Amino acid sequence: MVERIGILVVSYGSRAAAMVDAFSRSQEYEAELYVADKQRNPFNLKMAKEHVVIPSLDSKEIFKFAKRHKEDLDFGIVGPEKPIIAGVRDLIEDELGIPMICPTKRYAIEGSKVAQRLLFEEVAPEVNPRFRVFDPKDYRSLEDVKRDLYKWLDELGNMVAVKPDAPAAGKGVGVWGDHFRSREELLDHFMANFEAGPVIVEEKLEGEESSFQALCDGKHLVPLPDTRDYKRAFDGDHGPNTGGMGSYKDRGDTLPFMNEVDREKEKQIVERIFTKLRGDGYNPELRGIPFYEAFIHTAKGPMILENNSRPGDPEIQNILPILKDDFIEVCLRMVEGTLTSVEVERKATVVTYKVPPNYGGYADTFPDKVKKGEVGTPVVLTEAENLKAKYGDDIRIYPGSMELRNGETYALSSRTVCVVGVAETIEDARNISLEGIRAIKGGALWYRTDIASREHIEQSIRHMENLRKKNL
């Protein structure tokens, strides 16, 4: 007899649809899903035993939903960072005793970029870019802060990234050459962040980015294969930063522009951070994906850009469809503190997102490309779903910022829907993903056409080779 397991899924976007999919495919358990969602996600609605919409993802509302189903729930899992940082695990575990898969508030180190930099400085200073923290508490006048800031810019030759302490505070992360090209523009960006709290100004690094995610049960760290995220809105890595327009994973654990040494270094660095936070024994407060590190591979090796305390979106969609282990079993082992390894199929995966006209400033930048007659029309997934007859499990369609309304589905403001292609090579996985994306109709949606393209990957390989040569 298959055992019934009740699971609370806190959902924002396609990442949670991928989790819901992984749970529903369990062979060992019958998943009964209770989904607290940002919107009426059509996939989650279909799969859930009970589905509630909490647009704010407010922890207290999520807690109330969990309380109503206390007797049905064996564990919960959280996708988005907001409730993790707000302490949703602490609330639900302390009050209801339902084990949660995400770090506690104390270990959600994503909540403070300053705390992250200070932690890395202690544990792995060699992979920390040079940085300075500007804290409003330390300054009495704008003149004082401007003097110190400009002195620091002199030292770094203006090549800096400006980052608010709290995620998405002020204007968010800004980089010299992209978001500002003069000190005046930089100061504008800096002040918008400084008004919201402490700001880090750190050296801008040149290199190629990788996303490193690891599952953690509080005792063991289980690294997942590296993935590459495409943050910029437009083809050729132009335009503003987004949540991620797509991502790829190669067959093995590394990426085409990395080598085994880079991967080993990444693992060692994250292991050092983990050991520092865990101490000698067992720290279940770290359960979940407390370390999703954005690395940048430079001439000198990997450096750390940031630490997130949750699965990456779209990066976790590259992994879950090819997890060989039963995802419910993996979660139960995380709760028990017995997760020592997971197996992932030796396959390539490519994720491409389709997004609405205003996302990433597309409609303003390319007004002529927007299919005006389609703006606001229903988004139709039927043709893409029909591709399952051709590709089976090698195509997955995960709705994200999409809403079921009167029997039809509509795009909301964020990333609408992603298609995952699975194959033996990146090229084949990409073709499946793109075929699925092209089969999604309506809503004037658009997408990046160069996610995991041969040209883009070859360019990143050449870039890395040139950087390494410079360092010889």
Residues near ligand GLY (CB under 6 A):
229, 243-244, 308, 312-313, 315
Element (H, E) at 404: strand 402-405
Place of tokens 């940002």: 38
Cβ of residue 293: shortest distance to ligand GLY, in angstroms? 11
Chain centroid to CA 161? 20
Residue 141 CA to residue 163 CA, distance in Å, equals: 21
If the CB atoms of residues 203 and 209 are measured against ligand GLY, the closer one turns out to be 209
Tokens (6 digits) for 37: 């969602």
Q: Considering the complex, what minimum distance in angstroms separates the CB of residue 281 from ligand GLY? A: 30
Six-digit token string for 45: 């609605």
> Phi and psi (nearest 5°) for 6?
-95, 125
CA dist 90 → 77, 99, 107 (Å) = 13, 10, 11
- Answer for the pair 34, 8: CB distance below 8 angstroms, yes or no: yes
Closer to ligand GLY by Cβ: residue 303 or 439: 303
CB nearer to ligand GLY: pick between 194 and 359: 359
The CB-of-78 to ligand GLY minimum distance in angstroms stands at 13
Could you tell me the strand order of the sheet in which 100-101 lies?
A: 50-53, 29-37, 3-11, 75-78, 100-101
Instruction: Indicate the residue type of 29.
Output: Y
Neighbours of 29 (CB within 10 A): 19
Instruction: State in angstroms the smallest separation of the CB of 391 from ligand GLY.
Output: 25
CB nearer ligand GLY, residue 239 or residue 312: 312
In total, the chain counts a number of residues equal to 472
- Shortest distance, position 147 Cβ to ligand GLY, whole Å: 34
User: In the complex with ligand GLY, which residue's Cβ is closer, 218 or 400?
Assistant: 400
Label residue 325 exposed, middle or buried (CB < 10 Å: 0-12, 13-18, 19+): middle
Strand spans (E) along 299-401 = 301-308, 348-354, 395-399
Please state the φ and ψ torsions of residue 10, each to the nearest 5 degrees. -95, 120
- H-helix segments, 343-411: 362-365, 382-386, 388-391
**Which of 435, 432, 430 lies closest to 393 in space, CA to CA?**
432
> Least distance (Å) from ligand GLY to the CB of residue 165?
17
Count CB neighbours of 142 within 10 A: 11
Nearer to ligand GLY, 93 or 266 (CB): 266
- The conformation of residue 159, written as its DSSP 8-state character, comes to -
Q: Which is nearer to ligand GLY, 81 or 262 (CB)?
A: 81
Residue 313 CB, nearest approach to ligand GLY (Å): 4
Considering the complex, what minimum distance in angstroms separates the CB of residue 200 from ligand GLY? Answer: 17
To ligand GLY, the closest distance from the beta carbon of 52 in angstroms equals 24
Cα-atom radius of gyration of the chain, to the nearest Å? 22
User: If you search the block for the tokens 């943050």, which residue do you land on?
Assistant: 231
Distance of CA 86 to the CA centre of its chain: 18
- Closest approach of ligand GLY to the CB of residue 400, in Å: 12
CB of 306 to ligand GLY, least distance (A): 9
The residue ranges of DSSP E strands in 20-155, in sequence order, are: 29-37, 50-53, 75-78, 100-101, 131-134
User: Contact, 27 vs 1, CB < 8 A?
Assistant: no
* CB nearer ligand GLY, residue 186 or residue 419: 419
Closest approach of ligand GLY to the CB of residue 316, in Å: 8
Taking CB atoms, the residue at the shortest distance from ligand GLY is: 244
Q: How far apart are CA 228 and CA 231, in angstroms?
A: 9
